[in-house]
Structure 1
Amino acid sequence: MGRVLLLLLSVVFTSSSITNAFLFDKKGLFLVPSVAFRDRSSASQWTLYNQGWHYEENPVKALLMEKSLELIVQKDLDRNRVKMFTAEGKEKKDVCIDGLTRSMCTKTDNEGRIKNPFTMTNEEIELLRQPGGNGGKVTFQASIPKKNIKTQGEVYLCDDEGVTFISDIDDTIKITEVTSSTQTLINTFSGDFKAVPGMAEIYRHWAGQYNATFAYLTASPDQLYPFLREFFDREQFPSGSAHMRHFTWFDVNFISFFMSSNYIKKKTETLEMFLQNTRNRRFILLGDIFQKDSDIYASVYANYPDRIAKIFIRKYANDVDGQQRLETIFKDIPREKWATFETGADLPRSIF
């Protein structure tokens, strides 16, 4: 099954040269909620980390991929999700933030991505600030000049003081079953995403109790974000920034991308971004045992033991081998600073 899967997906992703879907192409733009920190060079400014993608759909390639995947999983898939992975980025295009007193634009990179940090003054932040979480957030409209392409952006303000929960998504709050390639495909491309029981409720409780900000850190590709947002809204998870990788044509196929270990570097860099850009903020880290979250969190804790208040790792209650593995990975972390859970009901109502 694994070899057939790799072969079919490779055929789909190398088929772009045999068809010209120009007449059917559709351009789009989405922004992934991001985060802002105080600018260390000036107390009157914030540094905002914008992230998003300007793309052009290819319906023919999407249909090929959809039918190939359906042969593998023997299940109907959601074409709207599939087509995001066969779209191509629009490179070197202007993307501008509307509604400010000055022009603020950036260009997409060679993959169509929007990822240049930019600065705003306190006054500009106040023009766009909305309530929500510790410090609130700014919302804005971004558009492609001279095109009828617009979207909403959100940036969550992460100040020096306060509490932030940084949570993995797949198999921590959303059932993905990343240890099975077939189940990963089904749970990614078919039907509604399913939440781990009780996680949304405990997250909402913590958000209210600690006036906390939330950040969602995942190995998933950002092409899934529009559908993850539907999941967050439906299950009523606290809103927050999302930090994801991006699937490109240089990746062999979706499964190889999803299962690759380069997410370890990405997750570590994102955690360090939060820690290095704040001074006294405390962090609670939540992940799962099914990938490398525990290893990543242990490594980060070693460098910032006073800033990491607690680590929670999801595993099955009867997984004795997994528990022993965690005892080894966390051997240098005080036992009271980490715990395991299977559902939200296993997590404490009070952290501190």
Structure 2
Amino acid sequence: MPSIHLSPARAAAIIAAALIPGGLALPTNDQNLDARGFFNFFPELGRMNDVLLFDGLGFQDPQQNDTLRGNVQAFAHLRQLPIGPLIRGVSGFIKDEFDLVVGDNVGRVEERLRLFAAVGSSEKNVNIKVQGCSAAQSDWGTHLGVTDERPHSGQILSTFKLGDCGKKDGELTGRIEIVSDGFFGSGSVRKFENTIFVSPPDGFGIISDIDDTVKITGTLDKKKLVQTTLLDDPEPVPGMPEVYASLKKSLTTSAPPAFVYVSGSPFELYPFLRSFIHDKYSESKGPILLQNFTITDIPSVIDFAKSAGIKEYKSSMIERVQGFYPQKKFLMVGDSTQKDPETYGDAFRKFGGDFVACIWIRKVEGADNSDQRFETAFKDVPKERIRVYEDKDISSLSSVDVKGGKCQ
């Protein structure tokens, strides 16, 4: 891999990509590949590759009740060299721009920015093995497909057959194995694992934003945004872990509710955000759907408060979830800093109250919290389906009988 030369402009672009909500969405076309293609001549991932394997969704095949399908995203890239030059450039940039000192947090900054320096590996075969599922028992496992042919993309998003997994809900373990050397599998093997969260077609679910909804980010304050994303230990919005834990109990029917996190953050921050959810929201874990940024497309003058593209991205993710679970009722939780009210209002108007059970919006100080905004965003949404709450009200959310049809 070539050495990294980081100009101040490049450092600014990387910071912007890491922190600004918006950008280009991940590909959404399903590949529907059930087995390894015998006539597919693209090479397998090899010793020069690593892969970021995202947690995925498992759902019932609408044509076969005893068959599950999985939807999984992966990012294949070249194995990385140390990124010290990048960190030095970023450190200087945030010192000059925000008067923030990296100090002893160099390792933390490097960990959170590492994937922004990754070079994607295009046109590579990617296969995943899923524990205990009939369609993944061959030596090759289940074929995700081929990474995106765009130069340096390395992205793949696939819906594929899992078969009979012996369960209708719960967690399955997926694994991608890369043979580092040797022939015909005789060399050392590196393993990359994920969790596929399986949920039945009916019951309840929660679609949740992350930044300033369940995690303190400070989206509207540039300096705080940099501080919380690169330097600080992530902290939850006070009271929300308890609320989500209570929702898991109160919304359980034949199975626990499905939690799906839909965020405008870039996919390069996935390890950071996944660790946060697993640590602070261990009772409400679920897949995290993030955006794919093209750093060269970030304008030279960054406005961190803009949210161009985020509404369209989140709407497309909600539509995907609805396609997987058309009979589920979802509580949608967001905040007022960006476009959650407008996005969730659109979802209600498009899919109706049988899909969008309730909409909860955290009112964040400094955002547009005007009555006019909410009236426009929630046009044609019954008022009893909406709750706009302040931080002092968070503890009361646990007592709302969402299963019984209440939202307030």
- SS of aligned partner of 2:128: strand
Q: Is the 8 A contact 2:59 2:199 kept in 1?
A: yes
In structure 2, what residue type is equivalent to 1:242?
A: I
In structure 1, C-alpha distance between the alignment counterparts of 2:336 and 2:369, rounded to whole Å = 11
In structure 2, what residue type is equivalent to 1:69?
A: I
- SS of aligned partner of 2:370: helix
In structure 2, what residue type is equivalent to 1:163?
A: F
Q: Is the 8 A contact 1:247 1:257 kept in 2?
A: no
Structure-2 change in CA distance of 1:39 and 1:139 (3 Å): same
Q: Are residue 143 (structure 1) and residue 177 (structure 2) matched? A: yes
In structure 2, what residue type is equivalent to 1:309?
A: A
Gaps of 5+ in 2: 1-6, 15-47, 182-188
Q: Are residue 30 (structure 1) and residue 52 (structure 2) matched? A: yes
In structure 1, what residue type is equivalent to 2:137?
A: T
In structure 1, what residue type is equivalent to 2:395?
A: A
In structure 2, what residue type is equivalent to 1:113?
A: Q
- SS of aligned partner of 2:137: coil
In structure 2, C-alpha distance between the alignment counterparts of 1:87 and 1:235, rounded to whole Å = 28
Would you say how many aligned residue pairs link Structure 1 and Structure 2?
328
Match of 1:115 in 2: 157
Mean Cα deviation higher: 272-281 or 333-342: 272-281
In structure 2, what residue type is equivalent to 1:209?
A: S
Residue-by-residue CA offset, 1:253-310 (whole Å, 9 max, x unaligned): 7966994421211210111112233232111000111100100110110122222110
Structure-2 change in CA distance of 1:49 and 1:340 (3 Å): same
Alignment match of 2:96 (pick from 43, 66, 71): 71
- SS of aligned partner of 1:115: strand
Q: Hey, which of these two has a bigger chunk of helix by percent?
A: 1
Match of 1:39 in 2: 61
Structure-2 change in CA distance of 1:312 and 1:27 (3 Å): same
Gaps of 5+ in 1: 1-6, 15-25
Structure-2 change in CA distance of 1:71 and 1:253 (3 Å): farther
Q: How does 1:246-265 map to 2 (within 5 A)?
A: 246-252=292-298, 259-265=306-312
- Compute the RMSD of aligned alpha carbons: 2.8
Match of 1:82 in 2: 113
Residue-by-residue CA offset, 1:224-268 (whole Å, 9 max, x unaligned): 111112212221341111111123344327966994421211210
Q: Is the 8 A contact 1:62 1:86 kept in 2?
A: no
Q: Are residue 284 (structure 1) and residue 331 (structure 2) matched? A: yes
TM-score by length of 2: 0.72
Q: Are residue 337 (structure 1) and residue 381 (structure 2) matched? A: no
Q: Is the 8 A contact 1:52 1:114 kept in 2?
A: yes
In structure 2, C-alpha distance between the alignment counterparts of 1:253 and 1:191, rounded to whole Å = 26
Structure-2 change in CA distance of 1:321 and 1:244 (3 Å): closer
Match of 1:274 in 2: 321
Match of 1:55 in 2: 77
Match of 1:176 in 2: 217
In structure 2, C-alpha distance between the alignment counterparts of 1:329 and 1:252, rounded to whole Å = 28
Structure-2 change in CA distance of 1:322 and 1:348 (3 Å): farther
Q: Is the 8 A contact 1:49 1:118 kept in 2?
A: yes
Alignment match of 1:313 (pick from 349, 361, 371): 361
Match of 2:397 in 1: 347
